Structure 1
């Protein structure tokens, strides 16, 4: 119910954004419009969108500005990322973004916010597999039938060799942390099915990335 949700955030009440708090991810500027084009097709006209692993906050600001009928709830387990999200939102002066939540995808419990959609960009390959498990489990429990869970990033596909850039990226991730690395699309799809989602709608994206839209059954 709407009454159970946090009040809207008024950036004007937050003061001036601290410049040093703002993080910047160059990839966000490169891929945000391609992702937005997909979101325009899959998101409802109105409702609450939970973004898991919001990172710097640049994506959520761009999406909220472009989709004013929706309310966005950013989240990230990192205090530094949450400070950056807050700084970007204050600077942009956008009212349809809520204060960032401290949310770890792999946590046993998530905040009770009843989202109408969940989006997660470039997370599952730079986190342990337990984060993907938590993402699908909690999204499956919280979304209504037909609601979307959207993922963006590089994935391994059956019977399809990795592009050289993605192979190098995968190797570098696994060198940094053995629990990281590009995920098999078949494993992600199986996880989704076990969590109550239909097979993904797949869209090819720039720079050898994929958009995956899972609908709750």
Structure 2
């Protein structure tokens, strides 16, 4: 199952009561380098048939899937709502603001270049009628901004952004995956209560790739 489909069941769909879930929004941030080396993907060590059964779970915890979730508009919005509900939404909100900052910085750089090309460069088609001294001073300022100021602004949030993305990858995203899988199981099992009586409310998720098949997540009904 594609990742966006696996996580998409909760958004822009009708619930059993006829209500609507949250609406889709634009991706909060653009593609960036994400440190996800600390994410531990489940590696099956059983028979080939058993490996096939758990490979799908392992994929959800991989760095590649994390990047897809982070930059897909639907799943990114779900991750934001999940984080906000657990009082840690500031991480994704910060990334959203940093992305906005980067977008504005790109626009500023492009506009400054267009001004130089059109009005102040020696070959400008509509060169301004300024004194030689003023024109040189203006072009020197543009050159300095292009070579030093703008690159410095591009890196101002880089270290913090990298740290926040690592927090998401290692602390928040794994919990989000388990939560989404739980909701998916509830929806799937609750549609046939005659065959799976009670399973919609009472179940647990385990990791068959680890010794003793440890429980990773238990529903509220399971622990009552």
TM-score scaled to structure 2, two decimals? 0.27
Larger helix fraction of residues: 2
| Larger-Rg structure | 2
Larger strand fraction of residues: 1
